[in-house]
C-alpha cells in the first residue's frame, strides 16, 4: 500500500443511517484533511488535523464528525445526512508546514 487510501470507494446510505469513511496514509505525514467536492463547485476544506489535534472545522454541520486516532488514520463519521450531502469526499495528508498535499481516490457518497 502506498500513498493515501480511502475506503469505501462508493457508499449509498439512507438519511437515517450511520456510516463511516476511512482514510489511511502511508507517507509518514502528520497532518490529515477532509475535503468535499460537489458538482460544479470548488473543493471545500472541511476538517484539518495536525499532530492528531483538530485545528480547523470549517463550519461543517454536526452530522459530520471526524476522528483522528493516530497520525496515519482519519475517519469521517456520518449520521442523519441529507441528499445535498451527496458528493465526493476526499482525504489528504501532508507534512506540517508548507509542504505538498497528497490526496486519496475519494469516496463517492450518495444519500437517498
Partner 1 sequence: KQEVTQIPAALSVPEGENLVLNCSFTDSAIYNLQWFRQDPGKGLTSLLLIQSSQREQTSGRLNASLDKSSGRSTLYIAASQPGDSATYLCAVNTGTASKLTFGTGTRLQVTL
Residue with smaller CB distance to partner 1, 42 or 69: 42
List the one residue out of 105, 100, 82 whose CA is nearest residue 21: 105
Q: Tell whether residue 41 is a contact of partner 1 (CB under 8 A).
A: yes
Q: Tell whether residue 1 is a contact of partner 1 (CB under 8 A).
A: no
* Minimum separation from the CB atom of position 23 to partner 1 (A): 11
Residue with smaller CB distance to partner 1, 82 or 96: 96
Angle at 16 between CA 4 and CA 52, to 5 degrees: 35
Sign of CA dihedral 41, 2, 69, 109: positive
Query: Residues for the chain: how many in total?
Result: 112
> Rounded to 10 degrees, what is the CA torsion of 53, 19, 89, 45?
-30
Q: Interface residues for partner 1 in 49-78 (CB under 8 A)?
A: 50, 55-56
- List interacting residues with partner 1 (CB under 8 A): 4, 6, 31, 33, 35, 40-43, 45, 48, 50, 55-56, 88, 90, 92, 94, 96-106, 108
Amino acid at each position: 500500500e502506498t500513498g493515501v487510501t480511502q475506503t469505501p470507494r462508493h457508499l449509498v446510505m439512507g438519511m437515517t443511517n450511520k456510516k463511516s469513511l476511512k482514510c489511511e496514509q502511508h507517507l509518514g505525514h502528520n497532518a490529515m484533511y477532509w475535503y468535499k467536492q460537489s458538482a460544479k463547485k470548488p473543493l471545500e476544506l472541511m476538517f484539518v488535523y495536525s499532530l492528531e489535534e483538530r485545528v480547523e472545522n470549517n463550519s461543517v454541520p454536526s452530522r459530520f464528525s471526524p476522528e483522528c486516532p493516530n497520525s496515519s488514520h482519519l475517519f469521517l463519521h456520518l449520521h442523519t445526512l441529507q441528499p445535498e450531502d451527496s458528493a465526493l469526499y476526499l482525504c489528504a495528508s501532508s507534512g506540517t508546514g508548507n509542504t505538498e498535499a497528497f490526496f486519496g481516490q475519494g469516496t463517492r457518497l450518495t444519500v437517498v
